[in-house]
Chain A
Amino acid sequence: AQTVTQSQPEMSVQEAETVTLSCTYDTSESDYYLFWYKQPPSRQMILVIRQEAYKQQNATENRFSVNFQKAAKSFSLKISDSQLGDAAMYFCAYRRSVQGAQKLVFGQGTRLTINP
């Protein structure tokens, strides 16, 4: 079964510092997509970054980057120069295929606190 595990329920970081959120997943597929979503207090899910498994290059979006280790099935998110607005729940997600249909499987989430 495809699962997504986020082993850090909570993380905190000083403003302007760098923080890394961990995510591991289990899959038997060779081609898939991985995502990090942010859910601020408003509860609106916001796409932070997407990684396509067939691409060896790690995805980057401004201050957000991933460390994608396909063999280890690891997909961590690095936030550089943390800002107060980065405080949120972060969910790692995996796009799985079930009988031709695509679904997202989410991890348990990591609550990130930014200390001023």
Chain B
Amino acid sequence: GAVVSQHPSRVICKSGTSVKIECRSLDFQATTMFWYRQFPKQSLMLMATSNEGSKATYEQGVEKDKFLINHASLTLSTLTVTSAHPEDSSFYICSAAPGLAWKTQYFGPGTRLLVL
């Protein structure tokens, strides 16, 4: 149980285009979902937290207009990187938790984004 999927697993796009990444909880309802960014050989950096039906809460330094997050249902959250530039190239990981007072987050397999 507790499986989280992400799609696509890898995406290459041209500078200036927008890219959408989907995160789905397959066998549980995810009240809360999280988006992380991971640079090579570094730890995970939390970008934002989203609760179903509410606006996402962004971490300090994360541009809300650059990284649009939508959590429209209890099983789906999306991250849209708008007007992507090469510096947005990174590994993006989502996670999901069942409930606000969660005990464990379950992670998706990640999406590698390369902006040319």
Residue numbers of A with Cβ under 8 A of B are 33, 35, 37, 42-47, 50, 52, 91, 100-104, 106-109
A45 to B46, CA, bound (A): 14
Interface residues of B (CB under 8 A from A): 32, 34, 38, 42-44, 46, 49, 57, 91, 93, 95, 97, 100-107, 109-110
In the complex, the answer to whether B95 meets A108 with C-beta atoms within 8 Å is no
Q: Do A101 and B43 have beta carbons less than 8 Å apart?
A: no
B5 to A: closest C-beta gap in Å:
11
Q: A80 to chain B: closest CB distance in Å? A: 23
What residues on B are CB-neighbors of A101 within 8 Å? Answer: 32, 49, 57, 100
For the complex of A and B, list the 9 residue pairs with the smallest distance between their C-beta atoms, beginning with the closest: A45-B107, A106-B43, A44-B109, A43-B110, A106-B44, A109-B43, A108-B43, A103-B46, A104-B105
